[in-house]
Structure 1
């Protein structure tokens, strides 16, 4: 049976269960979902020797408070500079201990992992919550988080003191230029507009969420305002009729009808996900 490990005292601005997402459901209109920052979520599991697809809790920005219901080992990664426990390392917590999660001066998403992984009902092959599609729901006050059924409760050898290499502990104040591959409608944009896209610094709009990140800057012009809808992937860069780019994120649509200028390198979607509204980002063409 599942073992209770945490009680949620306050879910903050948002808390959901996430993993690496769903595979093979796009043709039915179901997005992959999963952790917005796959880099941070992956390291949380690796610190505790959990399976790569073990569910983690994803917090939005700040305000979340949890109470430990047993002694256990956890890892907190992502934009958690203001957390009440050390981050990017394995940490032991004790029954009755209160955990507080707050982002630092940069970053958006915070990840909590427990030894053995959190329990979660798998729907369409994943425990990731996709609320718009009624696949699970966000956590709320009073919810109890359980360890996965059959998970080990003993500390595996070597976890105590384990820390993520400093080079992998991302600091989100100034992300590197994000790598972009040419999109299917690349030729619909003039050379001038393509140069503008890569030369300027884009601001992340406040109208950004798990569905898509809107970018603000000098408007781009396409020779084709709209096209027949066609498949899009996480990281697809579409240019809306107002000339502003929209980047598809983990819960984004599976088809899109705007011209697609490019596609983010898969690993760089995690960098973009951690950019707050008003944050600046640049892009770099790789092919």
Structure 2
């Protein structure tokens, strides 16, 4: 009752929704970089939202299944093949013992998500299996290790499930020209009006210096009236402005405290968009009202997390299958 990793690719990690409630002791939450794709993979299989998946960055991944189950594949289209037959992401598939899945690379987006029915069975650390390599937590051995060739991941054998696909309107188009929504932070007023205008009126480029901790951008330098702050807790999606004026967006494996001024914070949906951007992507920022962002987040959370929302998601999926 397992899956064997044949080729792990550059960076394939076990992730669930993250290790929350421990930042006060310096533990990063981790979790999926593209939460939207992660949640849909579990929804396709009627899994708990927290069920563990494989996050595959940059492709070049292959595995073999040793028992029957149903899988779901979401995120970037990495020219996947199941038993050498091309398959498209954002839907579920039945697999049997001996079946092989291969993913190559992607021209748009950099992360794909592989889920199995009921999730992978992984020992948790601090109530989560999320892999945070910097903290040496989570993953297949609880020590924060990325997946390697011949790793064996366990899951429960399940009979064939109804096959589903995500409705087209919920499938994002990954590209290299992206607009991201920013909620101004409480330090926003410490940036002069002309600096605020510069931030929102210029285009920034995603540099090669990107990882699960943060995305470094390059463009018009932003200056802050305050150059140093007492270190404080860091929120997911916070946009730090260091001394060189080039924004850094903090991601899932961010440090838990920092002292750079922060001009704002990305919304959750924009964070998922940024997580799929390749180096060279052109980024523009637009201001987002806090209350509107909260309302949209509540709707999304209701859709995926509440019983009524899950039934609504099921109805939407079933409707898509008949059209």
The TM-score normalised by the length of structure 2 is: 0.83
> In the alignment, what sits opposite 1:83?
80
Using the TM superposition, give the Cα deviation of residue 226 of structure 1 relative to its aligned residue in structure 2, in angstroms: 1.9
Structure 1 144/129 Cα, relative in aligned 2: closer, same or farther at 3 Å? same
Give the secondary-structure state (helix, strand or coil) at the position aligned to 1:263.
strand
8 A Cα contact 1:22 1:31, kept in partner: yes
Q: Deviations over 1:99-137 (max 9, x none)?
A: 111342111111000111111111111110111111131
1:31 equivalent in alignment to 2:33: no
What CA distance in whole angstroms lies between the structure 2 residues aligned with 1:280 and 1:226? Answer: 29
Unpaired segments ≥5 residues, structure 1: none
> In the alignment, what sits opposite 1:139?
147
What CA distance in whole angstroms lies between the structure 1 residues aligned with 2:98 and 2:159? Answer: 19
Give the secondary-structure state (helix, strand or coil) at the position aligned to 1:42.
helix
What CA distance in whole angstroms lies between the structure 2 residues aligned with 1:176 and 1:211? Answer: 20
> In the alignment, what sits opposite 1:67?
64
Using the TM superposition, give the Cα deviation of residue 219 of structure 1 relative to its aligned residue in structure 2, in angstroms: 0.6
8 A Cα contact 1:103 1:110, kept in partner: no
Structure 1 152/97 Cα, relative in aligned 2: closer, same or farther at 3 Å? closer
Give the secondary-structure state (helix, strand or coil) at the position aligned to 1:207.
strand
Q: Deviations over 1:171-212 (max 9, x none)?
A: 211565211111122112111111111111211111110000
Structure 1 runs of 4+ aligned residues shifted over 6 Å read: none
Using the TM superposition, give the Cα deviation of residue 152 of structure 1 relative to its aligned residue in structure 2, in angstroms: 6.3
Matching residue within 132, 154, 159 for 2:159: 154
Number of aligned residue pairs:
278
8 A Cα contact 1:200 1:282, kept in partner: yes
1:272 equivalent in alignment to 2:274: yes
What CA distance in whole angstroms lies between the structure 2 residues aligned with 1:132 and 1:221? Answer: 30
Give the secondary-structure state (helix, strand or coil) at the position aligned to 1:167.
helix
What CA distance in whole angstroms lies between the structure 2 residues aligned with 1:15 and 1:163? Answer: 23
Q: Which 10-residue stretch deviates more, 88-97 or 273-282?
A: 88-97
Give the secondary-structure state (helix, strand or coil) at the position aligned to 1:206.
strand
Q: Which 10-residue stretch deviates more, 217-226 or 79-88?
A: 79-88
> In the alignment, what sits opposite 1:121?
123
Q: How does 1:167-182 map to 2 (within 5 A)?
A: 167-174=169-176, 176-182=178-184
The TM-score normalised by the length of structure 1 is: 0.93
Higher helix share goes to which structure? Answer: 2
